[in-house]
A and B are shown apart, each in its own frame.
Chain A
């Protein structure tokens, strides 16, 4: 069974601080996606990483795919209250095209 463990599970920080969220698995994925979900809404895609070692930036968010395509990280610089939400990673199985979602990280940024 493929599992994606995210850490930390919960994070509460002050505005302006930096943070990193980790997504780890023992399985190899063909690609990995990061989503953010706000209360009462469905997850919204932030980024897709495909190549081992790939780094993508989205404004203050930096995403990295591990060299072996088993893990990923999300780094937020100078967090803002608008970054508050549930962050989910999702690995895509290359054989079945199924998405395996991570356990989630709940981020709260205090003003």
Chain B
């Protein structure tokens, strides 16, 4: 079975540009999570969806960040305008259900560099 698929794997762009990160969760999973990982702050939860509905976006750093999940098989995380401090690895993860001890399955991440 295919795991969580993220694209692109790497993105390098200049500050001020719009960045869109994409995620395809595992089929049948109804919870989706976006994380950001940096050396300084570790792995931080940005937002998560349950059944395509945003449940908690308290981790989204600023209004420049937005996330959508138009259907069960696709989600995007958008940064507009991007800034150098947004440079990080962004992970998407999905989970079968909202039951707390279910495992999250992570994609391989998008390494984002804002120049």
Query: Interface on A for B, CB 8 Å cutoff?
Result: 30-31, 33, 40-45, 48, 50, 88, 92, 94, 96-104
Contact assessment for B43 and A43 in the assembled complex, using a CB-CB cutoff below 8 Å: yes
- Which residue of chain B has the shortest Cβ distance to A31 in the bound complex? B101
- CB-based A-B contact count at 8 angstroms: 55
Contact assessment for A42 and B42 in the assembled complex, using a CB-CB cutoff below 8 Å: no
Query: Interface on B for A, CB 8 Å cutoff?
Result: 4, 31, 33, 35, 42-45, 48, 55-56, 91, 93, 98, 100-101, 103-109
CB distance from A39 to the nearest CB of B (A): 10
CA distance A97 to B49 in the complex (A): 11
Out of A42, A97, A98, name the residue touching B106 (CB < 8 Å). A42
Contact assessment for B48 and A45 in the assembled complex, using a CB-CB cutoff below 8 Å: no
Chain B residues whose C-beta falls within 8 Å of the C-beta of A96 in the assembled complex:
55-56
Contact assessment for A92 and B56 in the assembled complex, using a CB-CB cutoff below 8 Å: no
Chain A residues whose C-beta falls within 8 Å of the C-beta of B33 in the assembled complex:
99
Out of B43, B55, B56, B106, name the residue touching A44 (CB < 8 Å). B106
Could you jot down 26 A-B contacts, CB within 8 Å? A30-B100, A31-B100, A31-B101, A33-B103, A40-B109, A41-B106, A42-B4, A42-B91, A42-B106, A42-B108, A42-B109, A43-B91, A48-B103, A50-B101, A88-B43, A96-B55, A96-B56, A97-B98, A99-B33, A99-B104, A101-B35, A101-B42, A101-B44, A102-B42, A103-B42, A104-B43
Contact assessment for B100 and A104 in the assembled complex, using a CB-CB cutoff below 8 Å: no
Top 7 closest A-B pairs, CB basis? A42-B106, A45-B103, A101-B43, A92-B100, A31-B101, A48-B101, A30-B100
- Which residue of chain B has the shortest Cβ distance to A29 in the bound complex? B100
Chain A residues whose C-beta falls within 8 Å of the C-beta of B4 in the assembled complex:
42
CA distance A101 to B105 in the complex (A): 14
CA distance A51 to B106 in the complex (A): 25
Chain A residues whose C-beta falls within 8 Å of the C-beta of B107 in the assembled complex:
42
Contact assessment for B104 and A104 in the assembled complex, using a CB-CB cutoff below 8 Å: no
